[in-house]
Structure 1
Amino acid sequence: MQMKWRQLGRRFIMKALVLSIALAGTAFGSVSAAKARSMAAASAVSFTDIHGHWASREIVEANKKGWIRGFPDGNFRPEQTISQEEFLVMIERVIPSFPGHEPDSFARETYLSKAEGRWSYGTYAHLLSAGIIPSGKPTEPLDRLEGARLMLAALGQQSEGEKYRGTKSRFFSDLPVEEEYQVMTVYPAYKLGIITGYPDGTFRANEKISRAQAVVLISRLSQQIEDLFPGQVSEEEKQGMRKTVASFMEEVMDKQRIRRYDELVSYVKKKELPASPQFLREHFSFMNYEVYDFVRFPQFNELIYYAKIGNGKYRMTVQYYSGEPGGSVDRTFYLSSTDGKTFQLIGKDE
């Protein structure tokens, strides 16, 4: 099931999905994340103020990998509160590179105007297409709730929050189950191991995050990326997976403009398209309704995670901004292949 979160703390909404796909996407942003990591790693220095610090090992490692930068005076300032823009740049350096695309006028005005003229504007614009969107101003301190939300988006795991809708389980003494937005953000982040609570049983959602704590968080983010998306998927396989899904979506939704489920099933069968009945049920069952809301599918130039999860079975998760009212969305596709070149679209449990 697909889950979309309205951005910036608004209520969660479940919407059926319809597509406006564009296969071709142009690279967006002045410097790619991969290049930024390379540049940062090449200029890595030894910080003068982390000796004996509890997070010194993580800071040194993150510095070597090009995830972080210090200050001109040679300090890292580990106990200084990190800003939202600083944390966003860290995330961009950790996640896989992706082209992204130009935002529409609404998204630009709503989410990018606050970063206009800032050194971080390129990062804001780049990550917007992936639906990784800070809620406050760039210079505002990052709190633990916001950090958890951004990392869930960066992992393509926001939909995990749906598991905790209406839950009666209480993980933290200071996080009432009635606070649904916080519960659906904090609980999955906690279960994934990217953020923890305190020994006294509290979470402290509004507590500000230090630069040292931020380094620990992105280190966990990096580890979770490896754990959640296993297997060595070659570039050829990635290209084949992406092309198979995107081509199918473009064919049935844009070219044929199919909007009824029975028509879709008939067309797929007639044209012998590489999609199983279970795949169609999982991704297009909304077409069975007489009326449904329009929320865009990805353009497939956003943040994409690939995994090889079995013998000839693959998983592809796309994290993207779907426009309003959908907001930030993660959507997962399953594929099979016997040769790593030709792919079939299948259901999750096939």
Structure 2
Amino acid sequence: MSDPLLRVEDLHTRFDTDRGTVHAVDGVSLTVDRGEVVGVLGESGSGKSVTARSICRLEDPGRIVSGSIAFDGTELTTADESTVQRIRGNDVSMVFQDPTETLNPVFPIGEQIAEAVRIHETEDRQGLLDFLGLPPFRDQTAWESARERAVELMDRMDIPNPESRSSAFPHEFSGGLRQRAVLAVALASEPELLIADEPTTALDTTTQADILGRLRSLSDDRDIGVLLISHDLGVIAQTCDRVVVMYGGRVMEAGPVERILTAPEHPYTRALLECSVRNSSRDERVRSLDGRPPDSVGGHEGCPFADRCRHATATCREGPILMTERAADHRLACPEAPLFAAQASSRGQEAPMVDGGRQHDTE
């Protein structure tokens, strides 16, 4: 069996604050294969985005204190800056949550996509010129080629009239078109791994489904590995092959989407499903999870979910909580899960759909 495209093992990322050290990522392990979409699911503040930024080595002002991030055989935690810069943006691209913060408001969309194309195509040559202290690389033919490539990428993302719209500014695009433009920028380098951090936030349902469909197609058609971060169960259910459930900077449960979303074994995963609007009937009040997310200052001795879990015991609070293999490709960090897993399996869940309905077997 070949090695995964991305392997993260026991990753710890911390931030130093006036209140103490925040353990934002506290021992996360995950893998992404080529042609696979892996979802990262959890509440706000669970460490999803910091994990993604750490993989791209954009954790500053945080710091990676231990762990491994191996991309296609290259260890990124110990790689020199030139190696990281070569991989980041070329082989690994990231789509951030808010496209208005990614796109420069004073430059046309087409120019920004063309700039991404030009940078990646001339990176090696420009690096040599910088080393020699020579002026920046300028080639009109290269610029024209980059602009043509930008229009092609806009067309691939189904941006209407890409030739004329390439001269439009970000504020002239709708939210959905801006997100498509950001995807075009990320794909300019033909990456092997795409990290998408909440790529459908604040988009309408139809546009959301279209963006997610494009991510799925990129993975299937071009064999790109995709790490999709979301707090939306429907997004994960529709798009991903596997899912990693995070809470308090740790992985609570991980495995195939169908298994995790229909027969979850960790109390936190079950709580997420129970609190979902998609899993509530029309006349049923949506449930909420009692308590507050944990304070990550100083880290946790035991399970970070223990104070909000009705099944918690002294073992859960004292720790350490080990990740165990429950079944094929199914990992779980809960010492008490075997006591109530049968109950969860017998009740089951319906996998939520992105359009607000539920996924039903049509056979």
TM-score range, shorter chain: under 0.3
Highest relative contact order (Cα 8 Å, sep 6+), 1 or 2? 1
Larger Rg: 2
- TM-score, normalised with respect to structure 1: 0.22
Flag the structure with higher strand content.
Answer: 2
